[in-house]
Chains A and B, each alone.
Chain A
Amino acid sequence: MLYDKHKAEIDAILAKYPSKRSALLPMLYIAQDEYGRLDRDSIGEVAEILDLPPTDVYEVAGFYTLFYNEEVGKIVLDVCDDVPCCFCGAEELVADLENRLGVKAGHTTNDKLFTLRRVKCIAACDQAPVLQANLEFHNKVTPDKVDTLLAELRSEIESGKPISISGRFAEH
């Protein structure tokens, strides 16, 4: 299923490496987009495509922070709260988002649209407070900009254009 649906992309990925296993990270991104998370079935499918023991695939899915084994919202909001961001407005931004979304960081809104997470440095410290929405950067998200940002993201979801929690279509 996964393979049939994304044959061209998967074949292109496999062609990049002398070893099938190397395709694991990109394959997991595709599976995660397809199924919304990496559960037993999606992991099993990836394992089968790459001829890997399922345990090895689980291991990898568990190690990296951009793979989700729990269901996440349509858009994952990753706010950097690391040094220096935490001293440059990140805490305020997290609090603000928690307020507006009605969930604590680490959780998904009831309408399943947003998952809010605190993350470590995302290499945009000069843009603090900064966040990524489905791995697209949004710089200098001061409190006055939060509303507009959320509205924009909502309309993006509504627009029906393809969404990738794995950041496969990130534009900035």
Chain B
Amino acid sequence: MPELVTLTIDGQMVSVPKGTVIVEAARQIQNLIPVFCYHPKLAPVGMCRMCVVKVGTPKVDRATGKPELDANGNPAIAMMPRLQTGCTTPVSEGMVVITADEEVKHAQNGVLEALLTSHPLDCPVCDKGGECPLQNLTMGWGPGKTRFDYNDKVHFEKPIPLGDLIYLDRERCILCARCVRFQDEIAGDPVLGFDNRGRSWQIISKSDPVFDSKFSGNTTDICPVGALTSADFRFKARVWELQPIPTVCNHCPVGCNMTFDMRSNEIKRVMPRENDAVNEIWLCDRGRYAHHFVGSKQRLTTPLIRKNGTLQAATWDEAIELVSRQLDGIRSTAGGKAIGGLAGPSLPNEDLFAFQRFFRETLGSNNLDHRSGTALDLPLDDVGAQFGLTSGTDLLTLGKGTVVLVFGADPEEEAPVHLLRLRGIDTRGGTIITANGRPTKLDQWAKHKLRFRYGSEGALLAGLLKPLVDATPTGGNRAALRGFGELKTALSGITPASVAQSAGVAAETLTAVNELIAGAENLVIFYGRDALAAGPNVTGALANLLVMTRKAGAANSGLIGLIPGANGRGALDMGVRPDRGPGYAAVSQPGLSASQMFEAAQAGRLKALYIAGLDPVGADPATAAALKKVELVVVQELFLTETAKLADVVFPVLSVAEREGTFTNAERRVQRFRQARRSLPSQRPDWQILQSLANQLVAEPVLAAVSGAAERSRKQARREESKVRSRTEWNYASPAEILMDVAGSVAAYKNVSYATLQGADGAWGRQTNENYYFDGTSYENTGGLGTQIPAQVETSATATTLQPFKSGGRVEYADRPFTLVGAPFLYDDSALMNDANLLNNRRAKAQVALHPLDAERLGVQNGDHVTLASGRGTLTLPVYRTRLAAPGVVVVPLGVKGAPLTDIVEGAWTAVSIRRAEG
């Protein structure tokens, strides 16, 4: 419990933790002290002087040290001679604050009048109008009239672009520096500053490209005036016409809470919805500006059926009939095992659950996957569910005592808002350790950076585990750890020096990190694509770190796996995988994985492929051959993807904006999104298509059950028929009902329902009536804060079970001295980036990033072409010199047109040779 301090504000007593500033103390009792520069998420600066109040403290008798009393026996108060800024003055015991007498009002009037002396008062054409703290405060605290001559205003050229996304109107700027401070303190991209001084002070951005930050949109929110507006929303609507619909971002595993702000069925803008446990009040620019795929003209609007070799519009009845007939045929002739199903990791839980149910129950097939079946697929991640971040953990509260290990991950690109949250942990006194094969932005805030050589992750983890194993006393403790003996054996002979040797990490750094991990009060481990790609040995070893430090299942600790897609964890939880059903239940006869499906198709063993929300052909054109081999390809999609182009039947589906559903984020928080937009009658949600098919196909088992009826009475046959039918018929009226089934079959989702996800009345959200400075920042979360589901260690006795582990070095190829990695970039060419034209200039380019030293050695300049050759193939791309590649490591973006990594990669990392491409 923090020490409490009691003070009196305008006669009302309030007790707040020591160190609280007056403005915050007043918020507790709904006393609104007006502010401009102050923002609860930023360090106070006391610049704008709007929050001035009168402050007094109890007089103390110098001689006795006792409080002096006035004539009435009350403590005598010494009022300070000057007004104080409420946003910077910490409260003290017995303090008396007056927020609204004549003197204070006069000062506030002065500040407002002063601010308006350079303000253009162009509210009618200002995007901020209607949610503008300057308007609000002028109404509430302004003098009502100005004595300043309008002609004396300073004029600037009207809005100038700060990069592609943000416009700056310098006339409107009140110089509160909120945006600059956000970029410095929260985003860690110090790309905004001030030019000149005094009244000529103005915001500038001189980075290259201008305003180079993935978080720039947030500045338009926290700007308390209309100085910073977004290119996306400029002149699109008046804010009061907008209807904000709660949603969850579907672009990455963070799952930021946001709203689609709608007017006449169009998304006019995306705003963050406050959820301290997920995104606080922030969004990244992809989440905010890549919503245009929803309204894209390229969306599929009608079912398509291949006729005479071309895809042609068809009716739903026709398409459903066709697909069910064909599936039925294959099922009865070749069996369900001849059908494969792929459903993407950005589909909602409900659809993924329906998908696997359709396959397992209706078709009788375990050939299920949520991956694309290319060489870039990641192994399935189970430890993230077993040892996941303990439920109830709120990263916003972590700081001192918390150690965060970020292993093989680049949060900025894979889960941008996590970067802000990690930085927050650092700001609050926590310790960040990064372990990566190449530099990332997060390294800046890392206390230690373990820069390993790709392929030696196992060796590095051996070095991290070894001291923990050695420090475990023989006897009881060891005995309690299942798998201890094996682990100990696997680690024999490991020393800091041997690890330094094989992983390329300094022994001292390793030792320092060991000490930090051993001493951590809370241990959180993030892992991303590079770690996942390295395989279960590596992710399992990360889980072992938790087990060995007794943090498995402990409060404020656990794993956070950054699995690609908005619902990668959900796909695993729902069992869209060949080897496990919903809730990771073992299946008796595992089916084929995505890549095995393509092999089987090539070999003629697979007759049909059913693909929802995935584009394997786009990811690897080589898969087209497999698709051409099968009898039936069905695709459910938003767009006519490369895969859809090869389909026999294409079903147009609903986007996240047109339906309801839930996603499970990287921290295993299940969150609900709502329908914001009416769809076309000719588009349907994925689950509904599956339901129609399931019900068509039901006839088959029913008939099977009823066949041989000759010996039975017709009555008995009808009874049996209806029993089978009621067991197999699907009658979901909404995704909410599917989620009820999920709750019934996945233990961790036991308490998850649309009703529980709604519960907005948590500790979050704002005090009433606070829009005077929050206005335009973020909107109160009326859409629910979601439910963090428990990790398996919390409900089963697995907290002491170690994962199998073997330490190993890396194989070197003398003729291929470089390491190629495919790296995820936020702005890629995925379908969800369709029509996100404002982000075009920031998209990752088809080029190979080389460290300047390597470029020097190879004698290549930016733009020169080089050919990378692996054991599988070659890839020729232009060069880009950057310190974001480590020496010896070359980086090519994933999911970018013109950079077909699948031609060349051979695993988690690929040994390549590089030579200058001629011509």
Contact = CB atoms under 8 A, between A and B. Distances in A.
Determine if chain A interacts with chain B. yes
A102 interface: no
A55 B190 contact: yes
Interface residues of B, number: 13
B881 to A, nearest CB: 14
Contacts of B208: 54
Interface in A44-71: 53-59, 62-63
Nearest to A47: B206
Main SS class of interface, B: loop
Interface string B200-214: 000011111000000
A55 B205 CA distance: 6
Contacts of B192: 55
Contacts of B515: none
A48 to B, nearest CB: 12
B504 interface: no
A40 B204 CA distance: 13
B194 interface: yes
B450 interface: no
Interface string A18-44: 000000000000000000000010010
B439 interface: no
Contacts of B190: 53, 55-56
A63 B197 contact: yes
Contacts of B191: 53, 55
A172 B206 CA distance: 37
B195 A58 contact: yes
Contacts of B197: 62-63
B196 A55 contact: no
A20 to B, nearest CB: 15
A120 to B, nearest CB: 12
Interface string B76-108: 000000000000000000000000000000000
Contacts of A57: 206
B193 interface: yes
A55 B195 CA distance: 9
Contacts of A59: 193-195, 204
A58 B194 CA distance: 8
Contacts of A62: 194-197, 204
Nearest to B189: A53
Contacts, number: 35
Interface in B819-862: none
Nearest to B197: A63
Interface in A92-131: none
Contacts of B204: 55, 58-59, 62
**Most chain A beta carbons < 10 A, residue from B195, B206, B208:** B206
Interface string B166-210: 000000000000000000000000111111110000001111100
A56 B192 CA distance: 8
Nearest to A57: B206
A9 to B, nearest CB: 25
A57 B205 CA distance: 11
Interface residues of A, number: 11
B196 A53 contact: no
Nearest to A60: B193
Nearest to A65: B197
B196 A63 contact: yes
A140 B207 CA distance: 46
A97 to B, nearest CB: 25
A102 to B, nearest CB: 28
Interface-central residue, A55, A56, A63, by most chain B CB under 10 Å: A55
Contacts of B196: 62-63
Contacts of A55: 190-193, 204-207
A59 B200 CA distance: 12
A85 B195 CA distance: 29
Contacts of A63: 194, 196-197
Nearest to B191: A55
A94 to B, nearest CB: 22
A58 B204 CA distance: 9
Contacts of A40: 206
Contacts of A58: 193, 195, 204, 206
A53 B187 CA distance: 14
Nearest to B210: A55
Interface in B193-239: 193-197, 204-208
Contacts of B206: 40, 43, 54-55, 57-58
A49 B196 CA distance: 23
Contacts of A54: 206-208
Nearest to A69: B195
Nearest to A63: B197
Nearest to A58: B206
A84 B73 CA distance: 56
Nearest to B190: A53
Most chain A CB within 10 A, of B195, B196, B207, is at B195
Nearest to A52: B190
Nearest to B202: A62
Contacts of B195: 58-59, 62
A5 to B, nearest CB: 22
A62 B195 CA distance: 5
B199 to A, nearest CB: 13
A41 to B, nearest CB: 12
A63 B200 CA distance: 10
Contacts of A56: 190, 193
A55 B192 CA distance: 6
A68 to B, nearest CB: 13
A62 B206 CA distance: 12
Contacts of B205: 55
B190 to A, nearest CB: 5
Nearest to A43: B206
B265 to A, nearest CB: 40
A127 to B, nearest CB: 27
A21 to B, nearest CB: 12
A43 B207 CA distance: 12
A53 B196 CA distance: 17
A49 B11 CA distance: 57
B700 to A, nearest CB: 66
A82 to B, nearest CB: 16
Nearest to A53: B190
B417 to A, nearest CB: 22
A57 B207 CA distance: 11
Which among B193, B196, B204, B207 has the greatest number of chain A C-beta atoms within 10 A? B193
A31 to B, nearest CB: 15
A11 B649 CA distance: 70
A60 B208 CA distance: 18
A82 B642 CA distance: 73
B867 to A, nearest CB: 31
Interface string B114-148: 00000000000000000000000000000000000
A3 to B, nearest CB: 17
A63 to B, nearest CB: 5
Interface string A73-100: 0000000000000000000000000000
Interface string B636-668: 000000000000000000000000000000000
Nearest to A61: B195
Interface string B722-741: 00000000000000000000
A137 B191 CA distance: 39
A53 to B, nearest CB: 5
A54 B189 CA distance: 12
Contacts of A53: 190-191, 207
Interface of B: 190-197, 204-208
Pick the 6 closest A-B CB pairs, nearest first.
Answer: A62-B195, A59-B193, A55-B193, A55-B206, A54-B206, A53-B190
Given A54-B206, A58-B204, 7 more contacts: A40-B206, A55-B192, A55-B205, A58-B206, A59-B194, A63-B194, A63-B197
21 contacts: A40-B206, A53-B191, A54-B206, A54-B207, A54-B208, A55-B190, A55-B192, A55-B204, A55-B205, A55-B206, A55-B207, A56-B190, A56-B193, A58-B193, A58-B206, A59-B193, A59-B204, A62-B194, A62-B196, A63-B194, A63-B196
